Amino acid sequence: MRILIAEDEKAIADEVKSHLERAGYVADVVGDGETAWFRGETEDYDGIVVDLGLPRLDGLSVIRNLRRAGCRSAILVLTARGGWMERVSGIDAGADDYLPKPFHGEELLARLGAVLRRAQGHTTPQIVIGGLRLDTRAMTLTHDGRPISLTPLEFRALRYLAHNRGRVVSQFELCEHVWAGSQEPGSNTLEVLIARLRKKIGSDVIRTQRGHGYVIGE
């Protein structure tokens, strides 16, 4: 899943990005509000982590502008402004949750995971597909209780398809949410990745809609 981090303090931005990438997310970083607004409105992100004290355009304005433009990404406010008024202002602007600085990496991942699940209609970190149980928090997969080992790329692809269960996901969209922007895959890399996944989880779990993409579920 693809996350935009809007944070002007490089050390904090690097810390957030490191936590997210270790948890299997694809993360992009921008350092000012205008760029965050533009990227959030023109690119497809599952979630956005926004600092309120951004230069050029403050975080609350970024959130308001994105929501007015119809952006449906899950938004987590991450800021040093910890008072209740700032929290209320962030939620009223359209944020889904609020995490004050300093933060613990595990809480960041838990809160972000929760808002992402709610945005996709999931109430727990576990997604069940037939006999498969994908735990998006623990990054594990089991089939009838038997663990199945996945590579980081396989996990990213399966998690994104599972989060969008029942919807056809195009090859371009899946690539965007599995690989970072600087790591564009080759022409048949995605097909090879899906083939490896099918060998592990069963050929009938991920279906191909010719000319459109891939789908899990009805």
Question: Is the CB of residue 4 less than 8 Å from the CB of residue 33?
Answer: no
Task: Give the pairing type, strands 132-135 and 126-129.
Answer: antiparallel
Query: pLDDT for 3-49, tens place per residue?
Result: 999 999 999 999 999 999 999 999 999 999 999 999 999 999 999 99
- pLDDT tens per residue across span 154-184: 999 999 999 888 999 999 899 988 987 656 6
Give the mean pLDDT of 119-145.
87
The more confidently predicted of residues 141 and 79 is 141
CATH numbers and ranges of domains, the chain: 2-119 (3.40.50.2300), 126-216 (1.10.10.10)
If you search the block for the tokens 């663990």, which residue do you land on?
147
Q: Is pLDDT at 139 greater than 60 in this prediction?
A: yes
Angle between helix axes 152-163 and 189-201 (nearest 10 degrees) is 80
Q: What is the pLDDT of residue 184?
A: 65
Q: Which DSSP symbol is given to 166?
A: T
pLDDT at 67 over 80: yes
Residue (of 82, 13, 77) closest to 50 by Cα position: 77
Q: Kindly indicate the confidence band of residue 137, based on its pLDDT and cuts at 50, 70 and 90.
A: confident
* Largest pairwise CA distance in the chain: 52
C-alpha–C-alpha distance, residues 13 and 30, integer Å: 9
Model pTM score: 0.81
CB 74 within 8 A of CB 46: yes
Measured distance CA(33)–CA(43) in Å, rounded: 15
Note the pLDDT of residue 110.
94
- The two three-digit tokens of residue 207, written as one number: 């279906």
Is the N-terminal amide bond of 185 cis, ω within 30° of 0? no
Pick from 74, 57, 85, 67: nearest CA to 163: 74
To which residue do tokens 């050390």 refer?
11
Convert the pLDDT of each residue in 84-102 to its tens digit.
Answer: 677 788 888 999 999 988 8
